[in-house]
Structure 1
Amino acid sequence: MVAKAVVKPAVELPVRADEDSWTEAELAEVRATLEAEMAALVAEIAHAESTIAEDGGGDGAGDDQADAGAKTYEREHEMALAHNARDLLVQCERAVRRMDAGTYGVCESCTRPIGKARLQAFPRATMCVACKQREERR
């Protein structure tokens, strides 16, 4: 038997003292944003992978150094885009899992609320502004 995730009501998600509780509509909007972004990222990854596969088939015979260098650059660029898209996809999936677990909005560093406004602007956030700034200064 597979355990089913227990989804906490939006009102139970943490918020800062100066913010109102999450409403079901607000949380649904953030979830829809994340799900739309996940769908776009899956399509972007598929496109990048097919481009890499198509361009990787040639042996490069007859290419001069500039052509070979350009092809290598393009291939590495597509690979980097696919890698970044995969990272973003993982972040989106993690945010949805946190919503389902009732831990969405909790800073992973200081365990205080991240802030509803920050999450509405950047739904993948896992840290409050203060902790994120501290991390970026290191």
Structure 2
Amino acid sequence: MKKTATQASAKKAPMSSLVVKEGEGAWTKAELDEVLDELHTQRDKLVHVLDEAEHDLAGLMRDAGDGAGHDQADMGATSFERDHELTVLNNEREMLAQIDRALGHIHDGSYGICESCGEPIGKMRLMAFPRATLCMTCKQREERR
């Protein structure tokens, strides 16, 4: 069976097509393996944290009840704790989505391209923060807003 050009390019080592900033060398297998290891490690930890947080939140929701037998301070503390757990859970889910997006970009060869301007993000930034989706200029611009 003959492979199509798309199937053949998908089987190529993705590091050969990953962009780099001017003056940077191409991604080496060791560098890409380091980034992949970091992303997979972070992903495994997040999945575990999310499982625990969802379990804790389910307990908070179940125990919330109608407030009978609880004074206002207890209900306020429970509400605050539930809101905090929801915030943490949403942040963790967003990080997991970022990791999955980075892994997808590595797989399809678009890793390292700024999602805002389309320029290379830079290997040093990606090795320090593998989930990065913006180059430093665009990230700084975003943070100023």
| One-letter code aligned to 1:52 | L
TM-score for both structures, normalised by structure 2: 0.87
Alignment counterpart, residue 129 of structure 2, candidates 115, 122, 135: 122
- Which position in structure 2 is the counterpart of 1:41? 46
Contact 2:14-2:106 at 8 Å conserved across structures: no
Alignment counterpart, residue 10 of structure 2, candidates 6, 28, 31: 6
- Which position in structure 2 is the counterpart of 1:113? 120
| One-letter code aligned to 1:48 | A
- Which position in structure 1 is the counterpart of 2:22? 17
Alignment of 1:51-90 (within 5 A): 51-58=56-63, 59=65, 60-90=67-97
How far is 1:13 from its partner?
Answer: 1.0
Contact 1:9-1:24 at 8 Å conserved across structures: no
SS at match of 2:112: coil
1:109-137 superposed Cα distances (whole Å, 9 cap, x missing partner): 22111000000001011111011112222
Which runs of 4 or more aligned residues in structure 1 lie more than 6 Å from their structure 2 counterparts after TM superposition? none
How far is 1:11 from its partner?
Answer: 3.3
Structure 1 unmatched ranges of 5 or more: none
Contact 2:14-2:107 at 8 Å conserved across structures: no
| One-letter code aligned to 2:127 | Q
Give the whole-Å Cα distance in 1 for the aligned partners of 2:91 and 2:80: 16
How far is 1:49 from its partner?
Answer: 0.8
Structure with greater proportional helix content = 2
| One-letter code aligned to 1:57 | R
Contact 1:38-1:92 at 8 Å conserved across structures: yes
How far is 1:82 from its partner?
Answer: 0.7
Across the aligned residues of Structure 1 and Structure 2, the Cα RMSD in angstroms comes to: 1.7
Give the whole-Å Cα distance in 2 for the aligned partners of 1:20 and 1:11: 11
Contact 2:10-2:108 at 8 Å conserved across structures: yes
Contact 1:114-1:128 at 8 Å conserved across structures: yes
